[in-house]
Amino acid sequence: MTSTLALASALIAQPSVTPADGECQNLLKAQLEPLGFECETIVSNGVTNLWARHGSASPLLVFAGHTDVVPSGPIEKWTSDPFVPTERDGRLYGRGAADMKTPVAAMTVAARDFIHAHPDYTGSIGFIITSDEEGIATDGTDIVVKKLEERDIRPDYCIVGEPSSLKKLGDTIKNGRRGSLCGQLTVFGKQGHIAYPKRAANPIHLAAPALAELAAEVWDEGNEYYEPTSWQMSNIHAGTGANNVIPGELFVEFNFRFCTASTVDGLKKRVHAILDRHGFQYRLDWNYSGVPFLTPRGSLCDALSRAIKAETGVTPELSTTGGTSDGRFIARICPQVVEFGPVTESIHQIDENILIADIEPLTAIYRKTLENLFL
C-alpha cells in the first residue's frame, strides 16, 4: 500500500459528516509536523480548521481542501460500509474517496516528497483544510482567510483539491468559478374571492409579466472563460390551498450564477429596474455566497498543466463550469487559484470511489507542480 493510499484510507475511516472532522486533521498534522510545518488549529462554532505552513519565503503555494463529507445516504444501499475504506475491482470505495479525502492525502504526500527531495527550495508551502465545505461554509475556509488577511499573509498560488476531471484524470483544470446570487421575492396583492376579481389583486397575475421578462433577459455575453450569466427560478409559491381564493402574496426564489462580466450591484439594479417598471408592491431580499473568481492562463495554470501532461500524457482544458467552491474565499487574498483533482463521476453518490491507478499519478502531479514553480 502506497503512502497516499494508506493516508486516504485512514481519512475515509473517519465518519466526518459535515461539519465534523473526526480525527482527520490530527492525522494530517501527524504527517506535516515532522516535516517542519507549523500547524495551527482554528475552531469556529464547532468547525475545525487547519492552517499549516512550511517555510517563510516567497512564493507561497497553498494546498486547500476539506475533511468533511456529505451524508452517506442509506447505508444499506452501499455495497460496502461508506466509512470502511474498501478496495474492490481496482477502485477505492468510501465516502470522501473522491471528494476529497484522497486529494487531501495526495497533497500531503506530495508536499512530503518534495520537501525530502528539495529541502533547500526557495519558497514556502501552506495548507488550508476545513471541516465546513460541504455545509454552510461560514466557519471554515472563510474564517481562515480572514485570519490570514489580518496577519497580512497572502499566498501567491493556491491549488484546491476539488474533483475537477470529467472523464479521465487530468482532462480538466477549474481556473475559476461563477458567483452565486440568490433573491427571495415577495409580491403583494390583495386576497379575495375568486368569483370577484375586481375586489382583489392577484399577485400571480401582477408578477407574471415581470418574471417572464427576467427569464428572457440577457444579462451578459460571458467572456473567453465563462458562459453567459444565467437567471433561474428555483421555487414559486402562492395560494391558500383553496381553489376559490385569490392569494394575497406570491413568493419566488431565484438564483444568478454569474460570471466576471457582471457584478453583484449591477445585477441587483437591473432586477429592481424590471420589477419597478411593472408597478406592483414587492419585497426583495438578497444574499450571495460568493463572487466569481478567475485565474487566466499564467504561471500556475502553466505549471499544473505541464505536470499533468508529464504524468498522464493528457493536455488539460481550462473550465469555469460547475457550482461554487472554497476557492471563492481564497481568491480574496490570492491572485492565482485553481482547482484540480480526481474524476467527478461518483462524487456525492452511493458507492463513491476513485480509481486506485489514479492515486499515485495525482500525487505526482501535485509534486511536479511544486517542482515547476519552485525549482
Domain extents in the chain: 3-177+292-374, 179-290
Q: Does 317 participate in catalysis according to the annotation?
A: no
Q: How far apart are CA 102 and CA 346, in angstroms?
A: 13
Catalytic residue among 21, 68, 142, 358: 68
Q: How far apart are CA 354 and CA 364, in angstroms?
A: 16
Fold of 3-177+292-374: Aminopeptidase (3.40.630)
pLDDT at 31 (0 to 100): 98
Q: Are 176 and 241 in contact (CB under 8 A)?
A: no
Specify whether domain 179-290 bears CATH 3.30.70.360. Answer: yes
pLDDT at 1 (0 to 100): 83
Query: Mind giving me the DSSP string for 182-219?
Result: EEEEEEE-B-EETT-GGGSB-HHHHHHHHHHHHHH---
- Using alpha carbons, list the distances in angstroms from residue 300 to 105, 129, 224, 360: 21, 20, 18, 21
The DSSP letter of residue 368 is: H
Planar angle of CA 354, 344, 92, nearest 5 degrees: 10
Q: How far apart are CA 356 and CA 354, in angstroms?
A: 6
Residue for grid cell 466569481: 292
Q: Consult the annotation and say whether 118 binds a ligand.
A: no
* Residues 6+ away with beta carbon under 8 Å from 135: 18, 19, 68
Catalytic residue among 133, 139, 311, 358: 133
Q: How far apart are CA 248 and CA 350, in angstroms?
A: 43
Query: Mind giving me the DSSP string for 110-161?
Result: HHHHHHHH-TT-SSEEEEEEES-SSS--SSSHHHHHHHHHHTT---SEEEE-
Q: Which residues of the chain have pLDDT under 50?
A: none
Q: Consult the annotation and say whether 351 binds a ligand.
A: no
Helices 264-277 & 203-216 angle (0-180, nearest 10): 140
Comparing CA positions, the residue from 90, 94, 107 lying closest to residue 32 is 107
Strand (E) or helix (H) holding 179:
strand 179-188
- In sign, the C-alpha dihedral spanning 295, 296, 299, 301 is positive
Q: Consult the annotation and say whether 66 binds a ligand.
A: yes
pLDDT at 290 (0 to 100): 79
Q: Does 351 participate in catalysis according to the annotation?
A: no
pLDDT at 279 (0 to 100): 97
Q: Are 374 and 118 in contact (CB under 8 A)?
A: yes
Q: Consult the annotation and say whether 139 binds a ligand.
A: no
Q: Consult the annotation and say whether 134 binds a ligand.
A: yes
Q: Are 175 and 301 in contact (CB under 8 A)?
A: yes
| Amino acid residing at 23 | E
**Strand, helix or coil at 270?**
helix
